[in-house]
Amino acid sequence: MSQKIRVVIAKPGLDGHDRGAKVIARALRDAGMEVIYTGLRQTPEQIVSAALQEDADVIGLSILSGAHMHICPRIVELLRERQMTDVLVVVGGIIPDADVPKLNEIGIRGIFQPGTPMQEIVDFITQQARVRVSSERLS
């Protein structure tokens, strides 16, 4: 019944600043989720493959370099190609306010800017990922 939520935490792009990715990976693990951290410099293809292999419920992206408007749409596109649109995608990092509605529009609901409490991210994932699991059971 209480199946653990499976989360792939990924650092796409060339950036190596991994403090946020590691802290959130540990916080999600402490909150009872199964966390897989991909490590650095993953292409969107590698990240989506990891999510498929790991049967992930959630992909969490950490992007600080400004490349989010290139990376996020590509991930969403790949998920669609592989019929994985039920995977929840969340992103954290340096995301300017102006890009938030654009990311929402392509289906990224959880966007966490600097200073977001860990608990808020844990709560968001817990609620959103469970909606997916229960709706699957109904259908």
Partner 1 sequence: MARDLLYTPKSIESIDYERDLGDPGTFPYTRGIHATGYRGKLWTMRQFAGFGTPEETNERYRRLLAAGGTGLSVAFDLPTLMGRDPDHELSRGEVGKCGVNVTSLADMSALFDEIDLGAVTTSMTINAPAPMLLAMYLVVAEERGTDWRSLSGTIQNDILKEFIAQKEFIYPPRPSMRLVTDVFAFCAEHVPRWNTISVSGYHIREAGATAAQELAFTLRNGIEYVDHAIEAGLDVDTFAPRISFFFNSHSDFFEEIANFRAARRIWARVMRDRFNATNPRSWQLRFHAQTAGVSLTAQQPYNNVVRTAVQALAAALGGTQSLHTNALDEALALPTEAAATLALRTQQIIAHETGIVDVVDPLGGSYFLEKLTKDLEDEAMAYIDRIDRMGGMISAIERGYPQKEIAESAYQFQQAVESKAQVIVGVNEFVSSDREGIGTLYIDETAGDRQLARLEATRRNRDRARVSAALEHLQAAAKVDSNLMLPLIEAVRAHATVGEMCDGLREVWGEYVEDPII
Q: What are the residues binding partner 1 (CB under 8 A)?
A: 13-19, 22-23, 25-27, 29, 35, 37-41, 43, 64-67, 69-71, 94, 96-98, 113-115, 117-119
Question: Closer to partner 1 at the Cβ: 23 or 133?
Answer: 23
Q: At CB < 8 A and 24+ separation, what contacts does 15-19 make?
A: 15/63, 15/64, 15/65, 15/67, 16/40, 16/41, 17/64, 18/62
Taking the complex as a whole, the smallest distance from the CB of residue 4 to partner 1 amounts, in Å, to 16
Residue 63 in contact with residue 12, Cβ under 8 Å?
yes
Question: Closer to partner 1 at the Cβ: 52 or 67?
Answer: 67
Taking the complex as a whole, the smallest distance from the CB of residue 26 to partner 1 amounts, in Å, to 5
Spatial separation of the C-alpha atoms in residues 18 and 97, rounded to whole Å: 22
Taking the complex as a whole, the smallest distance from the CB of residue 22 to partner 1 amounts, in Å, to 5
Taking the complex as a whole, the smallest distance from the CB of residue 1 to partner 1 amounts, in Å, to 27
Instruction: Return the closest-CA partner of residue 99 out of 58, 74, 66, 62.
Output: 66
Residue recorded with tokens 């951290």: 37
Question: Closer to partner 1 at the Cβ: 100 or 133?
Answer: 100
Structure tokens at 104: 């929402």
Question: Closer to partner 1 at the Cβ: 113 or 135?
Answer: 113
